[in-house]
Amino acid sequence: MAGKALIFSAPSGSGKTTIVKHLLKNNPDLGFSISASTRDKRGRTEEHGKDYYFLTPEDFKRRIDNNEFIEWEEVYAGNFYGTLKAEIERIWQEGRNVIFDVDVKGGINLKKYFGAKALAVFVKVPSLEVLKERLTERGTETEESLSRRIFKAKFELTFQDKFDVVLVNEDLDKSLQEAQRLYDEFKAKP
């Protein structure tokens, strides 16, 4: 049944994007919600309309004023992220359920918006030490950005009880199987 929302949120480095990509690859009835952002593209691989809708701050603010977002926030100073209503309608009109890969605050806001039509999953790692290791292994973090992400993760972990399910991503294969099971049960519900 199309018209449902599957929300994955987590502190950065917990594995939510890997889980979301796995579900998209194995479930053609899922459509990925592309977020809007004012941040710069990373490298040469990110594309407008595929990875994000890259907007200028002025365009983003105009869309806020026009009530075009389900939810939005300023995640880091000057960097806005949000979910466009038109993006969800596009996916639902294709007859698919929508899947989100969003930060924790965005996940909470989406759950409030969609209510019973949504399953909100909080992905976390077994410990902050494991999270720090994963972020360091990426090789994309400076000492300052790593410290900022760990600080933010500590705060985000305090919101895990606002989600329908907490998925501890200790063993990736098991986490992928559990995510699939959760989706199968959710889409089977009337």
User: pLDDT tens digits, residue range 141-178?
Assistant: 788 888 888 888 899 999 999 999 999 999 999 999 99
User: Which band of pLDDT confidence, cut at 50, 70 and 90, is reported for residue 1?
Assistant: very low
Report the pLDDT value the prediction gives residue 2, as an integer from 0 to 100: 64
Alpha-carbon distance of 39 to 48, in angstroms, equals 12
Alpha-carbon distance of 122 to 163, in angstroms, equals 6
Alpha-carbon distance of 156 to 174, in angstroms, equals 23
Pairing label, strands 118-124, 5-9? parallel
- pLDDT (tens digit per residue) in 11-60: 888 889 999 999 999 999 999 999 999 998 887 888 899 889 999 999 99
* Predicted model pTM: 0.88
- Token duo for residue 102: 């969003």
CB contact at 8 A, 71 and 82: yes
Higher pLDDT pick, 181 / 149: 181
Alpha-carbon distance of 190 to 188, in angstroms, equals 6
Alpha-carbon distance of 51 to 136, in angstroms, equals 23
- pLDDT (tens digit per residue) in 75-102: 778 899 999 999 999 999 999 999 999 9
All residues at 6 or more sequence positions from 164 whose CB lies less than 8 Å from its CB, including other chains: 111, 118, 119, 120, 121
Residue 52, beta-bridge partner list:
48
